[in-house]
Amino acid sequence: MKFIFPILFSVSLLFVSCKKDGNSSPLFNNTIKAGVITPVFMTGDTLTPSLELMINWDSQNLYGFGEDSLDFNQDGIIDFRFTCALLNQDSIHLLNGQMPNPFPYFRITGVNGTLVRLRTEEAPIGLGQTTTLYWADTVGYENQISEKNTWGGTTLNMWQENPSPGTMSFGPWYAVSGTRYLGFSRMEKLGWLEIDATNHEQIKVLSVAYQN
């Protein structure tokens, strides 16, 4: 059973920049499909082993934190950072009725000009007002990724628990069953990450493909 916290959701966006990229580059306008590699103009790599964050637990075994990075084109420059914070349900009594700090989350940060396909969500915050949540989107197999998508830079939540279930979601990667894809854009070229998020607390990046 999930632990529910009855306070207002505190994190609606994390230093997000968004854009519609209308670049007319012929390469950029080659729409690609998630999970599909076109040998003529794409490079694909299976990550062996898969990228999975190692979790370090605090002295009380209550909060766990993990961090890792990915250089998808192996040029020596990091393109993605992944961070997560987890809450050990077996130690939940240590909160003594207090709110967790932080709420559990899994985040991705685009680095070196890498942008992530974006999903927005309007969520109520009371008194008839709403806020916009920005998420790293999920993409189904063979669904299109194109320059017409909306892209977010810097840090985006893939999922985050919140204290107001029912009024706002926990994000698109929270209840994924099986493999999904994350679309990205960098330097007018498109790509995707293949991600197993069956267990949202143990997200695994399995493979990557990108335009040459």
pLDDT in tens, 55-96: 999 999 999 999 999 999 999 999 999 999 999 999 999 999
Q: Which of 12-26, 46-60, 99-113, 127-141 has the lowest mean pLDDT?
A: 12-26
What pLDDT score was predicted for residue 4? 36
H-run or E-run covering 23? none
Q: What is the pLDDT of residue 165?
A: 66
Q: What is the DSSP string of 128-177?
A: TEEEEEEEEPPB-TT-EE-TTSEEEEEEEEEEE--S-BTTB-S-TTTT--
Tell me which residue has tokens 């990108």.
210
Split at pLDDT 50, 70, 90, the class of 22 is: very low
What pTM, to 2 d.p., does this model score? 0.85
Q: For residue 200, what are the contacts with CB-CB under 8 A and spacing of at least 6?
A: 106, 159, 173, 174, 175, 176
Greater confidence, 24 or 67? 67
Supply the pLDDT for residue 14.
46
Across 29-38, 53-62, 114-123, 147-156, least confident range? 29-38
Q: Copy the structure tokens of residue 41.
A: 């103009």
Q: How confident is the model at residue 125 (pLDDT cuts 50, 70, 90)?
A: confident
pLDDT of 20 > 60? The answer is: no
Q: How far is 16 from 177, CA to CA, in rounded Å? A: 27
